[in-house]
Amino acid sequence: MQHELIARARDWLSDDPDPDTRQELTDLIEAGAGDELAARFAGTLQFGTAGLRAELGAGPMRMNRAVVIRAAAGLASYLNRQRPRPAQDAQPAGGRPGPGLVVIGYDARHRSADFARDTAAVMVGAGLRAVLLPRPLPTPVLAFAIRHLGAVAGVEVTASHNPPRDNGYKVYLGDGVAGTASRGGSQIVPPADAEIAAEIAAVASVHAVPRPDAGWEIAGEDVVEAYLERAASVLTEGSPRAVRVVYTPLHGVGRETLTAAFARAGFPAPTVVAEQAEPDPDFPTVAFPNPEEPGAMDLAFATARATAADAGAAPDLVIANDPDADRCAVAVPAPEEPAGWRMLRGDEVGALLAAHLVRTGRAGQGGQSATDTTFATTIVSSSLLSRIAATAGVPYAETLTGFKWLARVDGVRYAYEEALGYCVDPAGVRDKDGITAALLVAELAAGLRAEGRTLVELLDELALAHGLHATDQLSVRVQDLSVIAAAMERLRAQPPTDLAGLPVTSAQDLSQGSEALPPTDGLRYHLAGGAGSGVETARVIVRPSGTEPKLKCYLEVVLPVAAPDALPAARARAREVLEAVKRDLAVAAGI
């Protein structure tokens, strides 16, 4: 086995075009690092609906130039086999139309620019036209550019909010490719992912992939300007703009684009967290560059407190983007909290934006036609959106987790997922967009401020109107992925009959699929409330993360609230039930 492993490593070494990873692999071979070599050669990174994402390093189970070149070659072969042609009714808003255009974006992580250039070279070598975005930019700029330039596909080199050692490769398809008309600019879904994976597997050698030294184009700043112009259009003309914001890009690529968007829209310039303002692939001030992770927002809150001390009044909002700026986190003043601020859950921001669109008469506007009115979210997000939509007479849809599914909802006007992702302009960016979401949150906060109200007060109003929808998450990060598989197997073999004293009324294995949902590795439990519990309904979904080594459990309890003075007790009861559900679920799953 050791001899076979060394032989595979030497074969890979001979085909690796990168001197850095060749040296890394040579050192491992000479050191006899059997365990490390076994991990790197345990298979190949699987290309799926999330594209590719893994730790940087040499070998087929890591992200490196050899893996990226193979992926790009497979994508190019897929596109050429599709023989794409522009949709008859969808001409690009700018640039030159034409089959074969692939637009490529990248963030500021280690090797992102290298992987982007390799992709451009492979596309040109395959007879396609490649356009590279001019610098590291937010992922939503890439998603916008696909439609704006009339591209048949787009690639974004990013690992989003993963640890510094990771990188990734996301693929989007444009209009006219494999039935994507009117859904172009969204991430790939089956069967395209499997078809591209098959083409990648057919790449015999990296050295055999044509990669000219030139021939691709660098997009001009006009693409970024067009994105900013489109972003400003999500706001209502003449709406209030007086709002004080502290902003952090978490060492990512969001600052220039977000501050430019705020200026274009007429908002006061945000106060940027100085220590996290510049792109830095090492993310030195955070353990994980994800606004949801404990401690990630500490510097932002410290900046907000300092700003309040200088100005004599607290800012209205703290806003954060993740490193590629497709997610948006929001925090509000909370004097009762130790930090003085409270992070809003993604479900809370999702409900607030939906209510804002309804209230301002934009629930049925901003799509590609008058029929684009649907509000959509994922099965792991709060059910509050469904109640807001029903009350407003707006169509509603649920999908599997991820914007690759949400972006494909027919007639979608607004979509969000609980993991801080919001799509407020699907006709412009058919993906989550942390820049336009931040603009809309700022507009909402400014409007409420003009009325002497706050986001927290609007959340209270939603609870009174639709019931208190309290959500939480049990998330378990593992080193050994078999722990996740064992937990899922245990829950399938012995599903819980009650959680927190609430009876489980249905246990659904989502791997079986249904008329409404494709198969996915997940479990869904519906729980009944009843007299004496104070709970109307509850729901639990358990699934392995698609991008990180985590088992994720999404919890929701719904409690009726009769009057404003009943809200504190309802919230206390909700916290109590959610904690009990987490304890019981952990026992049932053996985690």
Q: What is the largest CA-CA distance in the chain?
A: 73
- CATH numeric code, 40-220: 3.40.120.10
The interaxial angle of helices 455-466 and 384-392, nearest 10 deg, is 80
Residue 94 has pLDDT above 70, yes or no: no
Span 473-480, average pLDDT: 90
Helix axes 434-450, 346-359, angle to 10 degrees: 60
Residue 211 has pLDDT above 70, yes or no: yes
Question: How many CB atoms are located within 10 Å of the residue 247 CB?
Answer: 26
Q: Over the stretch 146-186, which tens digit does the pLDDT of each residue have? A: 999 999 999 999 999 999 999 999 999 997 665 544 567 89
pLDDT of residue 370: 56
For 427-487, strand residue ranges (E) read 468-477
* pLDDT of 181: 46
Weakest mean pLDDT among 74-78, 105-109, 188-192:
188-192
Query: Which residue type is seen at 529?
Result: G
Predicted pLDDT at 88: 41
pLDDT-derived band at 371 (thresholds 50, 70, 90) equals low
User: Higher-confidence residue: 105 or 529?
Assistant: 105
The domain covering 467-589 belongs, at the CATH homologous superfamily level, to Alpha-D-phosphohexomutase, C-terminal domain (3.30.310.50)
CA distances from 33 to 64, 65, 166, 543 (A): 19, 22, 21, 34
Residue 86: pLDDT band (50, 70, 90) is very low
Q: What is the pLDDT of residues 375-419, one digit of tens each?
A: 999 999 999 999 999 999 999 999 999 999 999 999 999 999 999
Q: What is the pLDDT of residue 393?
A: 94
The one catalytic residue among 77, 112, 160, 383: 160
**pLDDT above 70 for 330:** yes
What was the pLDDT predicted at 1?
58
Q: Which of 154-163, 186-195, 446-455 bottoms out in mean pLDDT, i.e. has the lowest?
A: 186-195
- Give yes or no: 160 in active site: yes
Average pLDDT over residues 272-283: 98
Q: Using the 8-state DSSP alphabet, how is residue 239 labeled?
A: -
Q: How far is CA 514 from the centre of its chain?
A: 25
pLDDT band at 95 (very low <50, low <70, confident <90, very high): very low
pLDDT at 546 over 80: no
Q: Report residue 533's pLDDT band, with 50, 70 and 90 as the boundaries.
A: confident
> How far, in Å, CA of 471 to CA of 501, rounded?
18
CA–CA separation, 432 vs 41, rounded Å? 34
Domain locations along the chain: 40-220, 233-343, 345-432, 467-589
CATH placement of domain 233-343: 3.40.120.10
Point out the least confidently predicted range of 62-71, 131-140, 470-479.
Answer: 470-479
Q: What is the mean pLDDT of the chain?
A: 92
The CATH class of 345-432 is alpha beta
Mean pLDDT calculated for residue range 214-223: 97
Cα 201 to chain centroid, rounded: 27
Distances (CA, A) of 378 to 122, 290, 407, 463, 476: 35, 20, 11, 20, 21
Q: How many CB atoms lie within 10 A of CB 51?
A: 24
Domains 40-220 and 467-589 share a fold: no
pLDDT at residue 178 in the model: 52
Angle between helices 434-450 and 255-265 (to 10 degrees): 40
Per-residue pLDDT at 548 exceeds 80: no
SS3 196: helix
Least confident interval from 137-146, 181-190, 195-204, 545-554: 181-190
> Looking at per-residue confidence, does 481 or 254 come out higher?
254
Output DSSP code: residue 274: G
What is the 3 state secondary structure string of 277-332? CCCCCCCCCCCCCCCCCCCCCHHHHHHHHHHHHHHCCCCCEEEEECCCCCEEEEEE
